[in-house]
Structure 1
Amino acid sequence: MTQLVPRIEGECAERFSAVRDTFERNFHEHDELGAAVTVIVGGETVVDLWGGWADGARTRPWERDTVVNVWSTTKGATALCAHLLIDRGLLDPDAPVAEYWPEFSAAGKAGVRVRELLAHRAGLAGLREPHTVEQLYDWELTTARLAAMEPWWEPGTRSGYHAMTYGFLVGEVVRRITGLLPGAFLRREVTEPLAIDFTMGLPEKEAHRAAELVPAATPLTAEEAAALLAGLPPVALAAMTNPAIGTEVANSAAWRAAEIPAANGHGTARAVAALYGIFAGRGRYGGHRVLSAGTVERVREGQGRGRDLVLGPAFAHETEAGLGLWLSGENRSYGPNPRAFGHEGAGGSCGLADPDAGVSLGYVMNRMGSRVADDPRRMALIDAVYGAL
């Protein structure tokens, strides 16, 4: 018999009861299917909740260890890999990318700096030539095409969200320095030593724990989708639709077997809160020093505010990236502190870090939201957290 009332399980400190209330309300008011939220304050987990269903048919309850594809929330983990190397003096954010990746200097890119990769300002938001999903799974092919391509705009002058290319660009720099793809480097340096349940891609042996991604309850009609695409500039189309990836692709074994460091991280809310908690803890997590405090401070150095060339149509406001993550800014995307930062994923997932308040949050779900940014479910959770501080 299908369960009609979602199960909400886990723990929540009394002071943060409004977060639990909001989490439960999301199921009734925002078509939540299955989800989890974890909040860490001052190194202590104060909220760790999960509930609902792990599949669209509502036959599998969302369990404590259910993992899900978090889409672009993955970018925070990829940025962390780069900052580990910066912290160790192995990567200079002001050095040319070609210093680490010589082939990248082609087509006028010799002067593009590492910080411009991290801040979506490298002009490589999407490939110019058609690129299939199967080709996206080919690391060597994808990075070679990026190295050879001409930028869409003069690097360093504008921001244009590198939706899929970010992970290959930053990830290839990580690989050139360490000899490891970012997923393996993250596992060796962070997730395995700290027991954080997060992977780039998903090992086949863990597939039974994966939640099924489900389209929005009220998806765009074909006419609405066509109208939206018709209004996008070529660079935005390249970034968001070359190739086009939806829930059917992301639920496939091939997607999970690949490494897409911009978009196929799999984890629990607990894991997302832990990874972003390294930033929130000024480099410390679980009694371990992962990054120096100075490196964490550098993460939130604004790289230039403005209307993003790719995200501009989706935002009514200007945005600003730090080094690898987005600043909360005046629009409060990551809470009331404009210097808090984080990353959201398609459909609504989110990782948040606020070193000033010592707060990190991880929110994951399997029902895709219909909004491109600032999903109301996670915005309501963030508001509840800050209301309790």
Structure 2
Amino acid sequence: MDSEPDAVSGTSLQQKIQGVLDELVGTGAETGLQVAVYHHGALVVDAVAGVADSRTGRRVTPETPFFGFSAGKVMTSLVAHLLVKSGRVGYDTPVAELWPRFGAHGKGTATLRHVLTHSAGVPAMPRDVGPGDLADWSRVCTALADAAPRWRPGTRTGYHSFTYGFLVGEVARRATGKPMRQLLREWITVPLGLDGDLYFGVPQTDLARPAHLEDAAPHPVGPPDDEAVLAPWEMRPAAALANSREILQADIPSVGTFTARGIAAMNAAVLDGRLIDPHQLAQVTAVAFEGTDQVFGQHVRLALGYPLGRIGTRPDETPTTFGWVGGGGSYVYADTATGTAFAMTKTRLTPHFDTAQRLADLTAAEFAGRM
């Protein structure tokens, strides 16, 4: 893909986005950001501002990878779709067909479709698994296999914050014999020329490259909520987790490290048929589950592996848009109607998505009516 914004279609939006980024950094609202936009396969925005590491003054560049928390789930979902494309599994293949132990406690009916729609019934990590265990693939998967579901698979949905990547990843590992980081590289980054832009686990040789994230404000410490489905560490993004060398290097496909340009380029390749064909794309982006999220309580409309709707809008207002937000404010989306792929990363972890919504709205307005 081109590495410079398209001069004809992107100049205006490039200038608008760059102006917003400069304003946000100038006012202190943000410290460092990247935004990339592809339109019908052409890079039309490639904008950065601020610092990647406020401790050293290292500047953000388009090549700076960011730990994007759940925005990285777009990579996980795509690997699942490529796994189905390969014929090794189907969306309705029971997880226990490949992973027999997972069928314990009534989870035998859970399928890959249920995993992709967060309806498998295991949204939370077992309580004896903490953030320090995330790098231990075998321990996490053993605990998930032995867990009792909170609901019968397929009957309800609830955000599978950290469990999602391990469920998809273990199915993929058992079907192919390869870990997610290897499948990401073989199926996506190398074919698209994006090696160094997308990671499930940053190689030790690249550990100096990622941005150093920072919390916008200290997390309030209160008594544990025994009624909460997710543990506090599963609910709230923390810079300490994102900056941990062990976590950065670990294959944890519930999260990911990426550049905005790289992950937008990946979604551009999804939209234009280079990774999955139009028939599968239509299948992937159709409504697959709709209901009340059992973790957060809001109404959700889910495609296979993605929430539907652009941030700040109702799902029915922007039904052709799919993607993921990342805790702390990052955002990645694609729109089949306009052929747009958008990504925004940032260093400051905020408890809101104001910056993401502002930039996404600006991008969507640019291409409204332009198919």
TM-score, scaled relative to structure 2: 0.90
Measured in 2, the distance between the counterparts of 1:15 and 1:356 equals 21
- Tell me which residue corresponds to 2:90: 92
Please report how far the alpha carbon of residue 360 of structure 1 lies from its aligned counterpart in structure 2 after TM superposition.
0.2
Which residue is equivalent to 1:40? Answer: 38
Q: What are structure 2's unaligned runs of at least 5 residues?
A: none
**Which has the larger displacement, 25-34 or 157-166?**
25-34
Is the contact made by 1:303 and 1:322 (CA closer than 8 Å) also made in structure 2? yes
Which amino acid in the other structure matches residue 286 of structure 2? E
For residues 315 and 21 of structure 2, the distance between their equivalents in structure 1, rounded to whole angstroms, comes to: 17
Distance 1:76 1:340 in 2: 13
Residue equivalent to 1:383: 361
Structure 2 counterpart of 1:321, from 299, 302, 326: 302
Alignment of 1:21 onto 2:15? no
Q: Does 1:346 pair with 2:331? A: no
- The correspondence for 1:360, drawn from 326, 329, 341, is 341
State how 1:17-166 maps to structure 2 within 5 Å: 17-28=15-26, 31-57=29-55, 59-166=57-164
Contact 2:164 2:254 in 1 (8 A): yes
Deviation (angstroms), 1:63: 2.0
Task: Please name the residue that 1:276 is paired with.
Answer: 267
Task: Answer whether contact 1:124 1:146 (CA < 8 A) is retained.
Answer: yes
Q: Distance in 1 between matches of 2:25 and 2:249?
A: 31
2:293 maps to 308
Deviation string for 1:308-350 (max 9, x for gaps)?
Answer: 11122xxxx5222211111007952799522210001111111
SS of aligned partner of 1:256: helix
1:215 maps to 215
Alpha-carbon distance, 1:301 to partner: 2.1
Aligned-partner Cα distance in 1 for 2:267–2:311: 21
How many pairs does the alignment contain? Answer: 358
1:362 is paired with a residue whose SS is strand
Distance change >3 Å, CA 157–CA 94, structure 1 → 2: same
Specify which of 227, 230, 234 is matched with residue 236 of structure 1. Answer: 230
Distance 1:176 1:250, change over 3 A: same
Is 1:247 equivalent to 2:239 in the alignment?
Answer: yes
Name which of structure 1's ranges 105-114 and 10-19 shifts more when overlaid on structure 2: 10-19
Contact 1:168 1:262 in 2 (8 A): yes
Structure 1 contact 236–311 (Cα < 8 Å) conserved? no
What is the deviation of 1:89? Answer: 2.0
CA separation in 2, counterparts of 1:119 and 1:187? 24
Cα deviation, 1:227-248, whole Å, max 9, x if unaligned, reads: 7x64x733233xx536976211
The amino acid of 1:213's aligned partner reads L
Contact 1:126 1:165 in 2 (8 A): yes
Aligned counterpart, 1:6: none
1:40-68 C-alpha deviation (Å, 9 max, x unpaired): 00111100011100113361111231111
Distance 2:27 2:122 in 1: 39
Shift of 1:87: 1.6
**CA shift for structure 1 position 22:** 2.5
Pairwise CA distance, 1:186: 1.0
Q: Which residue of 2 aligns with 1:7?
A: none
Letter in 2 for 1:361: F
RMSD: 2.3
8 Å CA contact retained: 2:64, 2:209:
yes
Identical-pair percentage = 32
Measure, in 1, the Cα distance between the counterparts of 2:265 and 2:134: 29
SS at match of 1:270: helix
Query: 2:64 & 2:251 partners in 1: Cα distance?
Result: 20
Relative to structure 1, the CA distance from residue 70 to residue 245 in structure 2 (aligned partners, 3 Å threshold; closer, same or farther) is: closer
- Contact map agreement 2:74 2:323 (CA 8 A) in 1: yes
Deviations 1:10-54 (A, max 9, x none): 858333133233333332457111110000001111000111001
Give SS of 2:333's match. strand
1: CA distance between counterparts of 2:310 and 2:38?
21
Could you tell me which amino acid in structure 2 is paired with residue 200 of structure 1? F
Do the aligned partners of 2:204 and 2:249 also contact (CA within 8 Å) in 1? yes
Between the aligned partners of 2:234 and 2:66, the Cα distance in structure 1 is 23
Where does structure 1 lack aligned partners over 5 or more consecutive residues? 1-9, 284-288
- CA contact under 8 A between 2:238 and 2:349: conserved in structure 1? no
With over 3 angstroms needed to count, the CA separation of the structure-2 counterparts of 1:99 and 1:71, relative to structure 1, is same
